[in-house]
């Protein structure tokens, strides 16, 4: 007994070190999506408040840029309005309007953003109160941003394209061949596109858009352009994409609500 006590006394610092390390590693090991969401839930109350205060200044500093982006978007919307008004008389309008009603966009702001990690996350300043729920798509005016992971009443976290866990079905705009988009953990400007078969003809600067196969994103939202591609052994291309979305300067984003999502998913479940 005495030798044990002496041992503990002699190595007390080392034992404390071991104990603390073990606690830290347990924290890491338990970092499942569920745990993460619980921890985030707690600290979002604190950090969400802090970040939204601090963001006031950041927003102010980028006013000029935001303004010009808004002006551009306004012009584009006005153009579309013009086109729709021209269409209003024809019978085509019925299907146009029905499509439009499938999706609704919730405008939100990014209040916390990381781009330099392997598992990056965004925090948005809207949550369940404004109809933002898990598995909704997030886009900016530049292109696809990510998918909503967890939500609380006033906040939501998003897995962006630049997270090693992110996967999305996308397709070539020109030929409609679909592949899987994922990130390789290196630069936030580029991502990889896999599973495009070798017989498809590719060109640099071809545009990649969402495939619309899942109920998360509508068909045809822009993702990026082909930067380079190689055909290594096997039957698939290795394609490097230049992403449209500038994750470092992300500020205003839209969350996509799909009104027919449940219907689509229920039907698909039944079919399986």
Q: Which of 69, 115, 180, 200 binds other proteins (CB under 8 A)?
A: 115
Among the listed ranges 68-76, 114-122, 170-178, 201-209, the one in contact with other proteins (CB under 8 A) is 114-122
Residue 166, SS3? coil
Answer for which of 189, 229, 236, 242 binds other proteins (CB under 8 A) is 189
CA distances from 29 to 21, 22, 26, 36, 246 (A): 12, 10, 5, 11, 32
Interface pick for other proteins out of 248, 260, 264, 266 (rule CB under 8 A): 248
Q: Round to whole Å and give the CA distance between 182 and 174.
A: 20
Among 10, 78, 117, 129, contact with other proteins (rule: CB under 8 A): 117
Residue 136 near residue 255, CB atoms below 8 Å: yes
Beta strands (DSSP E) in the chain are 103-113, 122-124, 137-139, 144-151, 156-160, 168-172, 178-182, 190-194, 207-210, 222-230, 238-243, 252-258
Whose Cβ is closer to other proteins: residue 38's or residue 129's?
A: 38
SS3 86: helix
Q: What's the burial of 59, exposed, middle or buried (CB within 10 Å: 0-12/13-18/19+)?
A: middle
Radius of gyration of the chain (CA): 23
x-marked contacts with other proteins along 42-71 as a string, rule CB under 8 A? -x--xx--x---x---x-------------
Q: Residue 54 or residue 101: which is nearer to other proteins going by CB?
A: 54
- Cα–Cα distances (Å) from 154 to 52, 111, 133, in that order, read 11, 12, 11
Map residues 142-181 to x or -, x wherever contact with other proteins holds by CB under 8 A: ---------------x------------------------
Complex with other proteins: residue 151 or 210, whichever CB lies closer: 151
> Applying CB under 8 A, which of residues 188, 210, 255, 258 lies at the interface with other proteins?
188
Contact of 218 with 100, CB cutoff 8 Å: no
- Residue 134, interface with other proteins (CB under 8 A)? no
The distance of closest approach from Cβ of residue 186 to other proteins in the complex, given in angstroms and rounded to an integer, is: 7
- Between residues 159 and 255, which has the closer beta carbon with respect to other proteins? 159
Subset of 2-31 contacting other proteins (CB under 8 A):
12-13, 16-17, 20-21, 23-31
- Enumerate binding residues for other proteins (CB under 8 A): 12-13, 16-17, 20-21, 23-31, 35-36, 39-40, 43, 46-47, 50, 54, 58, 114-119, 121, 157, 185-189, 248
């Amino acid at each position: 007994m005495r030798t044990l006590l002496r041992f503990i006394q002699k190595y007390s610092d080392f034992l404390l070190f071991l104990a603390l390390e073990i606690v830290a590693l347990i924290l890491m090991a338990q970092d499942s999506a569920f745990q993460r969401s619980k921890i985030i839930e707690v600290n979002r109350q604190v950090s969400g408040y802090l970040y939204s205060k601090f963001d006031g200044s950041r927003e102010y500093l980028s006013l000029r840029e935001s303004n010009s982006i808004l002006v551009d978007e306004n012009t584009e919307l006005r153009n579309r309005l013009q086109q729709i008004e021209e269409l209003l008389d024809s019978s085509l309008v019925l299907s146009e309007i029905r499509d439009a009603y499938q999706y609704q966009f919730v405008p939100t702001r990014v209040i916390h953003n990381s781009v330099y990690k392997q598992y990056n996350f965004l925090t948005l300043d809207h949550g369940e109160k404004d109809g933002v729920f898990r598995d909704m798509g997030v886009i900016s005016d530049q292109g696809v941003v990510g998918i909503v992971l967890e939500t609380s009443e006033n906040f939501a976290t998003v897995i962006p394209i630049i997270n090693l866990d992110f996967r999305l079905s996308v397709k070539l705009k020109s030929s409609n061949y679909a592949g899987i988009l994922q990130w390789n953990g290196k630069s936030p400007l580029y991502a990889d596109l896999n599973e495009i078969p070798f017989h498809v003809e590719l060109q640099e600067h071809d545009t990649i858009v969402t495939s619309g196969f899942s109920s998360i994103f509508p068909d045809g939202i822009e993702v990026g352009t082909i930067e380079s591609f190689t055909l290594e052994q096997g039957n698939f291309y290795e394609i490097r994409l230049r992403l449209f979305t500038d994750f470092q300067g992300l500020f205003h984003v839209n969350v996509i609500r799909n009104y027919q999502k449940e219907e689509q998913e229920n039907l698909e479940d039944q079919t399986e």
